Amino acid sequence: MASYPYPTSYRTWPGPNSNTFTAWVGRAVPELRLKLPSTAIGKDFLPGAIADTTPSGTGVQLSLFGLTGLAVGWDEGIEVNRAARIAAAAHGGQVLMSGCTWALLKDDRPTGAELRDLGEHRLKDFPGPEHIYQVAIDGLPADFPALRALAATPSNPPLAATPTNLTNQLTRFIGRERELEETKARLLKARLLTISGAGGLGKTRLSIELAASVSDVFNAGVWFIELAGLSDRSLVPHAVATVVGLRESATTMWKNGRFLAP
């Protein structure tokens, strides 16, 4: 134990941490046949190397400072670093973290940062959904298109949730059930519904609850698009396109509020 290279160092992600130490013990004593779960943050942090045996001692492992890597072992099977898959689902400038990381950091959040619950998404090489959070940092862009998660296939069935960028609300929606039911009934009969009223009445919160309540009806996607900061109405189509993931190219363009293609 005295030869452990990080006796006084600790970092939640990507390591070294307690999982790094446990994995190091497994490599030092392969008879233990340790098998750490793929969600054990820090186990892939290799002390001073990019290649080593797996913690079980039954295979080999490659890792780049615990950020991305691959393990192949008799006990582990084929295991892809979870952080790399989550990073691949993000857009440029977007900061994501797994549910496991959020659980570790929720009592020690950095100042000037907000956590947004993006819900569950399917990632390549992982059989089940992964709960993903976005870190919104003051002064940096915080609105992005839907994550680059896996599309549904016969072997990878879709999640029950509709594609959306709606975030889970931290407080309960109480006392406005009648307004919610009325607006829902109106929305299902119209293509456009406008909710108006004085500032501070809760129009945005009602709209978010309304969108969430009809997500099973509009299963192609339900999106929240912030337009309050726009001063030029010509920018509205671009704001919509950014959130839903559309991009202008040489063959497609926005013109007069319409998305045009040859």
Domain spans of the chain?
18-80, 82-152, 162-220, 225-262
Mean pLDDT in residue range 133-152: 76
CA proximity to 45, closest of 69, 74, 25, 28? 69
With H, G, I as helix, E, B as strand and everything else as coil, classify residue 65. Answer: coil
Q: What is the identity of the amino acid at 25?
A: V
CA proximity to 98, closest of 66, 135, 64? 135
Highest-pLDDT range among 48-62, 70-84, 169-183 = 169-183
CA proximity to 44, closest of 54, 34, 35? 54
Residue 156, pLDDT above cutoff 70: no
Q: What is the pLDDT of residue 183?
A: 92
Confidence of residue 194 (pLDDT cuts 50, 70, 90): very high
Residue of 58 and 207 predicted with greater confidence: 207
Highest-pLDDT range among 52-61, 88-97, 131-140, 223-232 = 223-232
Mean pLDDT in residue range 64-68: 64
Contacts of 44 (CB under 8 A, 6+ apart): 14, 15, 23, 61, 63, 66, 69, 71, 81
pTM of the full structure: 0.39
Q: What angle in degrees, to the nearest 10, is found between the helix axes of 203-213 and 177-187?
A: 60
Tokens 């190219």 — which residue? 249
Q: With beta carbons less than 8 A apart as the criterion, state whether 101 and 40 touch.
A: no
With H, G, I as helix, E, B as strand and everything else as coil, classify residue 14. Answer: coil
Mean pLDDT in residue range 62-81: 67
Residue 143, both tokens: 């609105």
Residue of 158 and 143 predicted with greater confidence: 143
Mean pLDDT in residue range 147-153: 57
**Backbone φ, ψ for residue 67 (5° rounding):** -85, -35
Q: What is the mean pLDDT of the chain?
A: 75
CA proximity to 89, closest of 142, 145, 40, 47? 145
93: left (phi over 0), alpha (psi -120 to 50) or beta: left
With H, G, I as helix, E, B as strand and everything else as coil, classify residue 210. Answer: helix
Per 3-state DSSP, the chain is made up of helix, strand and coil in percentages (nearest 5) of 25, 20, 55
> How far apart, in whole angstroms, are the C-alpha atoms of residue 92 and residue 176?
38
Residue 105, pLDDT above cutoff 70: no
Q: What is the identity of the amino acid at 2?
A: A
